[in-house]
Amino acid sequence: MIPTTHPDDATMARISAGMLLEIGAVHFNAREPFTLASGLPSPTYIDCRKLISYPRIRSTLMDFLTAKVMRDAGFEAFTNIAGGETAGIPFAALVAERMGLPMTYVRKKPKGYGRNARIEGVMGERDRVLLVEDLTTDGGSKLSFVDAIRETGASCGHTAVIFYYGIFPETEKTLGDHGVALHSLCTWHDVLAVARERAAFDTETLAEVESFLSDPRAWQAARG
């Protein structure tokens, strides 16, 4: 069934953040920061892949994401749902099922044998594709997926994620300059607010996370 009536964005953000905290997908560590893919330190880390193991939470979040995308982009905006390898694949399948649309997925790079394909499944040159991923930080990794989709002749002007860092101002510009609109359920600011409400972490850790979120580049520079 296609979900069409759901709470406003702020309520969905708060509920989504709470569910991520509930399953232990959120990690805060100010004393021993995590290392991001960029090599830079961060007191925050999120593991959205854990969601696939929690069917009630998974189902609710996919209902939310589907409703938000259709509300923001239009009910007939898409003809194909594509997942980005690998974390986006299960979520794309769940969104496609809710929308009643074909599902495909995009490889990070060509297979290197056989058809040497990056697109798996059926995607046509007239398709209007929604790219689904688990999260985005600065938006850069989405561009390669979008380009691979567009190389088929299909269009891709939207990407939907469960979690958006929401702390790097260049993210939406990076995507926007590439002709891509971002749709997301919650950010680090939403998670921090709910973590405070629930006293999920000690006050020192929450204060350090807030310092990072206020100026991540300065926080990282101060820690090498």
Strand blocks (E) in 15-76: 26-28, 34-35, 41-42, 44-46
pLDDT in tens, 3-16: 666 899 999 999 99
158 within some domain = yes
What is the C-alpha separation between 167 and 213, in angstroms, rounded? 6
Poorest-pLDDT segment among 2-16, 111-125, 140-154, 171-185? 111-125
Is 4 among the domain residues? no
Which positions make up the binding site?
A: 107-108, 111, 133-141
The CATH number of whichever domain residue 177 belongs to comes to 3.40.50.2020
Is 141 a member of any domain? yes
pLDDT at 139: 82
H/E stretch holding 155 reads strand 155-164
pLDDT reading at 115 higher than 70: no
> Averaged over 150-173, what is the pLDDT?
95
Query: Which residues make up each annotated binding site for orotate?
Result: 137
**Average model confidence (pLDDT) across the chain:** 93
pLDDT of residue 113: 64
Indicate whether 2 belongs to any domain. no
What are the binding residues for 5-phospho-alpha-D-ribose 1-diphosphate?
Answer: 107-108, 111, 133-141
Evaluate whether residue 3 is within a structural domain: no
Return the pLDDT at 4.
Answer: 65
Q: Are 136 and 165 in contact (CB under 8 A)?
A: yes
Which domain does 139 fall in, by range? 9-222
Any domain includes 1: no
Question: Residue 163 half-sphere exposure, CB side, CA atoms within 13 Å?
Answer: 26
120 is a domain residue: yes
Residues 6+ apart with CB under 8 A from 172: 139, 182
Domain membership of residue 29 (yes or no) is: yes
pLDDT of residue 70: 95
Least confident of 82-86, 114-118, 149-153, 206-210: 114-118
pLDDT over 70 at 95, yes or no: yes
- For the chain, how many structural domains are there in total? 1
How does residue 116 score in pLDDT terms, banded at 50, 70 and 90? low
pLDDT of 222 reads 87
Q: How far is CA 147 from CA 29, 69, 108, 117, 129, in A?
A: 36, 21, 11, 13, 12
Per-residue pLDDT reduced to its tens digit, 186-198: 999 999 999 999 9
